[in-house]
Chains A and B, each alone.
Chain A
Amino acid sequence: MNSIMTAFNWKIAGAAGEGIKKSGLIFAKTCFKHGLNVQGYTEYPSLIRGGHNTFQIHASSEEITSPLYSLNVLVDIHGQANEIHKNELTKDTIILADNLPLSDLVKKAGGIPKMKNMAALGASAFLLGLSLDLLNKTLAEIFVKKGEEIITSNQKVAKAGFDYAQTNFKDKAHQPIKINPEIKNKIFITGNQAISYGAIAGGMKLFIAYPMTPATSILHTLAAKAKQANIAVRHAEDEIGTINMAIGAGFAGVRSMVATSGGGFSLMTEGLGLSGITETPLVIVNAMRPGPASGMPTWSSQGDLLYAIHASQDEFPRIIITPGDPQECFQLSKLAQNLAEKYQLPVIILTDKYLGESYFTINKPELKHQNQRFGFADTKNLNNEKPFKRYLDTNTGISPRTIPGQSGGVHLANSYEHDKLGYATEEKEERVKQVNKRTKKTAQILKDPDFISPILYGPETADQTIISWGSNKSVILEALKQLKNTNFIHFPIVWPFPADKFLQLTKSAKKLFTLECNSTGQLNQLIRQQTGLKIDNQILKYDGRPFFPYEIIKELS
C-alpha cells in the first residue's frame, strides 16, 4: 500500500454522450464529502455525441485553487484517452482502461451499459482511499429525481468496480487522504453559480438571456432558483431583445442582469450604448470564449478585455469587473448590482469558460445580505405638470432619478442626446454639458469606498511580480506555492483603470510580468496606455485552455 497523499489529480475521459461530465461531478462531490478541497475542470467539444470529453479533479486536504496537469489516475472510457493525454501521464499514473472490464462488471451487477462509468468511479474510490459509502451517498443525491431503482442499480455497479479494484489493484491503493476539518464551512460551486447567487444577493429581480456557451449555466441556475429567490427569468428571442428588455426593466426601477458570451455581447453592443446614454443601470455578464465569430465555443479565453472597455460607438462611463475565482464572482456580482444603480451605468462582468464552468471549493458566502437603494428622488412635493429634471448636471455627474408611476417625476429617457429634461437636443452647449456630466462619474467610481483596487498576493517585496486579471488569479495563486521570491498583483476591477493604486503597488517591484489568456497582451497595453509603464515580459496563452500552474512555474523559475 502506498503512503498517505495530501492531494491527487484524477481525470475521466470519453466521448460526448458517455456521461463524462456527470461522472466527474459525482466523483468530485464524493471527494468533497470526504472532506477535501476540490477543483473540477472540464473540457468538451461543441457537440452532443462523439468527440472527446474530460472531467478532471484536483482534490486536496490543503487549500487549492486550480487544476493540475500531471495525473495520478486516468480513467479511459473510450480507449483513446491514453494517447490524447500522454503528456499528462507520469511513471506513477494509474490508468484504468482495458485492465478494468467495465462491461462485464455492469453485466454482473445487473446494470445497463450506460452505467459503466459508475464501475470506474467505484474502482477510483478504492484506489484513492475514498469510501464506497460516500460514493453511494452522492449517487443517491445526484439521481434523486430518477427514483430508488436507478439509484440502487448505479450503486450496485459502483460496488462491483470498488470490489474489483480491491481484488486486483490492492498494491496500487492509497490510504485515505487527511480530511480538512474546515470543509463543513465550504461549498462546492462554479463561477457561473456564484455570479447567479451574488446577483440575487445584490437585489437583482429580473434576469434575461439567450443561451450561449459558456454563459448558459447562469440562465439554468437562475431559472431553477427563480421561485425561491422571487425573481423573474426570461429566455428571450435574441441578445438584442435581451439587453433592450433588461434596460426597459431598469428604467422601471428593477435591478436587472443579462449574460452571454462574445458573440451575444457583440449583438448587445448598441444596447450597451443605450444604457450609457439613458443612464439606465444594467449588469452584463460576458463569459469569454475564444473567437472571433463562433470561435471555439466550449473553450476559454480572455480576448475581450479591450473590446469590453470600448464596445459601442462614442464614449460613456462603464465599469468592467474581472473576478478571479468564485468567491469574487459572488462578491463582485453583488457589487455590480449596487454600482450599476449607484452610478446609473452599465457594469460588465468579464469571466471566461474556465472560471464559469469549473467547480471550486470556497468558503460559504454570507447568507444574509443588506442592500441600499441609490439615487431615487422624492417627488411628492413636485408639480406633476412639470417635467422632472432627470439629467440635471450635478457635482458627481449622478442625477436623481424617478420611475414610471411616480407623480412629479415625469420625464423622457432618451437614446438621442438630450437636455436635462431628457428631450432631444442638438445644441452644442447641451451636448457638451451632458457628455461632461456623464464623464464625471468615472472619477467618482475610483473614489468609491466599495471600489476594489488591485490586490497584492505573496510577499510585499519580491524579485519578480506577476500582474494579471480575471480567472488567472486561481492558477497563479496555486503556482505561487512553489515559486520563490515572487508576488502577484490581481485586478478585480479593470475599468475605470485604478492607475494610482496600481502604481503604488509596483513602486518597489523589481521585474514585472503580465500574464493573460490572449495573444496581444491586452492588460499590458492598457497599463502602458493608462500609466506609461512599459512591461516587457509577457506570458500569454491563447489555445483555449487556462494556464496550468506548472506552465507559470516553468516561465518564472
Chain B
Amino acid sequence: MKRTTHINPTWCPGCGNFGILGAIKQALDKLNLEPHQFTTVYDVGCSGNMADFIYSYGFHGLHGRTLPVAAGIKLGNHKLPVIAIIGDGGCFGEGLSHFISLARGNHDILVLTHDNYLYSLTTGQMSPTSKKGTKTPSTPEGSIEETFNPLASSILNHATFVARGFAGDIPHLANLIEQGLNHKGFAFLDILQPCITYNKDMPYNWYRKNIYDLKEKNHDPKDKAAALNKALETDKLPIGVFLQKQKPAFHEQISNFSDTPLANHDISNIDLTNIL
C-alpha cells in the first residue's frame, strides 16, 4: 500500500525520525489502514516535517497546537483513527496545557512525541525534557529548570494508555504504535529519539545502554501506582507499556452523541421548533 509521498525526507542522515517513520509504516501495514482511513496531524518541528512524507489525510498545524487539532478531527469524525506527531518542545513546552487537558478528557487520539530532549529545528536549544544543566545556545551556562517528566505527568493526568518506545528499535516501536492505535482513549507514546546533530551526548549507543524493556520486569500496565513508579525512574529508562486502562473516550461521554460522525450529519433541513 502507498505509504509515502513523492517527497524525500529532509532529515539529517541517521536522524531518529527515520526509525519512527519506519515503525509508523509497519504499524499501519499491520492494521491494514488505507491512506484515506486515518488522519495524521503534525506539529512544527523536525518531526512535523514528516507531513510531507507520509501519504495519508494530514494536517500540518501550528507549533504546540497539534493536539487540539487532532482532538477536533476526532470529534468531527470519531470513526477514523487520528495520530498526532509532535516533538518534546511542542508537546511539553508551547502546548503543555493541551496535552494535560486532552489527556484528562480521554480524547481518543494517539500522541507520538518525538522526544529528542532539544529544540532541533531551531538549531538545538534546551527543551522541557532537557536535563537540568544542559548547555545549549539559549542556555550557555546550563539550563536552570528541572526536567519535565512526560510519562509521570500523563499518568497523573489520567491518560489511559502510556508507553515509551525507542526510535532505534523499530519492531518494538511499531508494536507500541499498533497498540496505541487500537486503544480507545488518550494514548501517549513518548519516543526516545536520538538527535545526532545537536544532542551529541545521547547517540543511539547511549540509549541502548540506558534503556530496558518493562516486560523483563513483569510490570503490570493495569497497576497505576507501579506505572508511576516506573515513570519516575530516570537512571535507566524503561520502554514498553507503562499503563493501560479501559475508560470511555471523550466523545463516548457526550450525551446523545450519535453513531453518525458529526461530519456526516445531514444539515439540509433543520427544525428549530423545540429550540425556540
Q: Is B73's CB under 8 angstroms from A364's CB?
A: no
Q: Flag A194-232 by CB within 8 Å of B: 1 or 0 each.
A: 000100110101101000000000000000011111101
Minimum Cβ distance to chain A for residue B65 (Å): 4
Contacts of A238 in B (CB 8 A): 97
Closest CB pairs A-B (n = 8): A248-B72, A252-B76, A203-B267, A237-B101, A253-B263, A245-B72, A248-B69, A244-B68
Q: Is B61's CB under 8 angstroms from A227's CB?
A: no
Q: Is B52's CB under 8 angstroms from A424's CB?
A: yes
Is B163 an interface residue when CB atoms closer than 8 A count as contact? no
Contacts of A227 in B (CB 8 A): 255-256
- Interface-side segment among B33-41, B116-124, B220-228: B33-41
Contacts of A477 in B (CB 8 A): none
With contacts A249-B73, A251-B59, A369-B270 known, is A364 near B276, CB below 8 A? yes
Q: Is A241's CB under 8 angstroms from B276's CB?
A: no
Contacts of A203 in B (CB 8 A): 267, 270
In the complex, A228 Cα to B275 Cα: how many Å? 7
With contacts A237-B101, A248-B70, A410-B36 known, is A206 near B7, CB below 8 A? no
In the complex, A241 Cα to B265 Cα: how many Å? 24
Is B274 an interface residue when CB atoms closer than 8 A count as contact? yes
16 residue pairs from A and B, CB less than 8 Å apart: A197-B276, A205-B265, A241-B65, A241-B98, A250-B72, A251-B59, A252-B77, A252-B263, A253-B76, A385-B55, A404-B80, A407-B36, A410-B55, A423-B51, A424-B51, A424-B60
B interface, CB within 8 angstroms of A: 2, 5, 7, 34-39, 41, 44, 49, 51-52, 55-62, 65, 68-77, 79-80, 97-98, 100-102, 251, 254-258, 261-265, 267-276
Which positions 483-527 of chain A face chain B at CB distance < 8 Å? none
Minimum Cβ distance to chain A for residue B99 (Å): 10
Q: Is A228's CB under 8 angstroms from B76's CB?
A: no
Q: Is B69's CB under 8 angstroms from A247's CB?
A: yes
Contacts of A278 in B (CB 8 A): 59
Q: Is A201's CB under 8 angstroms from B61's CB?
A: no
Known contacts A232-B254, A244-B65, A368-B269; 14 further A-B pairs (Cβ under 8 A) = A230-B256, A232-B75, A238-B97, A240-B98, A248-B72, A249-B263, A252-B73, A278-B59, A365-B272, A369-B269, A373-B267, A387-B5, A404-B73, A423-B5
Which positions 170-206 of chain A face chain B at CB distance < 8 Å? 187, 197, 200-201, 203, 205-206
Option from B2, B61, B69, B276 in Cβ contact (under 8 Å) with A365: B276
Is A408 an interface residue when CB atoms closer than 8 A count as contact? yes
**B250: nearest chain-A partner, CB-CB:** A234
In the complex, A483 Cα to B73 Cα: how many Å? 53
> In the complex, how many residue pairs between chain A and chain B have their CB atoms under 8 Å apart?
212
Q: Is B71's CB under 8 angstroms from A248's CB?
A: yes
Contacts of A403 in B (CB 8 A): 77, 263
In the complex, A83 Cα to B38 Cα: how many Å? 66
With contacts A248-B71, A251-B76 known, is A384 near B51, CB below 8 A? no
Q: Is B55's CB under 8 angstroms from A247's CB?
A: no
Q: Flag A298-324 by CB within 8 Å of B: 1 or 0 each.
A: 000000000000000000000000000
In the complex, A253 Cα to B57 Cα: how many Å? 13
Is A81 an interface residue when CB atoms closer than 8 A count as contact? no
Is A411 an interface residue when CB atoms closer than 8 A count as contact? yes
Contacts of B7 in A (CB 8 A): 423
Contacts of B271 in A (CB 8 A): 367-369
**A379: nearest chain-B partner, CB-CB:** B36
- Interface-side segment among A19-27, A109-117, A413-421, A546-554: A413-421
In the complex, A366 Cα to B272 Cα: how many Å? 8
Minimum Cβ distance to chain A for residue B10 (Å): 10
In the complex, A88 Cα to B263 Cα: how many Å? 53
Q: Is A245's CB under 8 angstroms from B68's CB?
A: yes
Contacts of B255 in A (CB 8 A): 227
Q: Is A244's CB under 8 angstroms from B55's CB?
A: no
Contacts of A412 in B (CB 8 A): 51-52, 57-60
Option from A236, A256, A364, A369 in Cβ contact (under 8 Å) with B68: A236
Contacts of A415 in B (CB 8 A): 44, 60-62
Interface centre among A228, A236, A370 (most CB of B within 10 A): A236
Q: Is B265's CB under 8 angstroms from A251's CB?
A: no
Q: Is B75's CB under 8 angstroms from A372's CB?
A: no
Minimum Cβ distance to chain A for residue B213 (Å): 34
Q: Is B76's CB under 8 angstroms from A270's CB?
A: no
Contacts of B37 in A (CB 8 A): 405
Option from A187, A245, A384 in Cβ contact (under 8 Å) with B276: A187
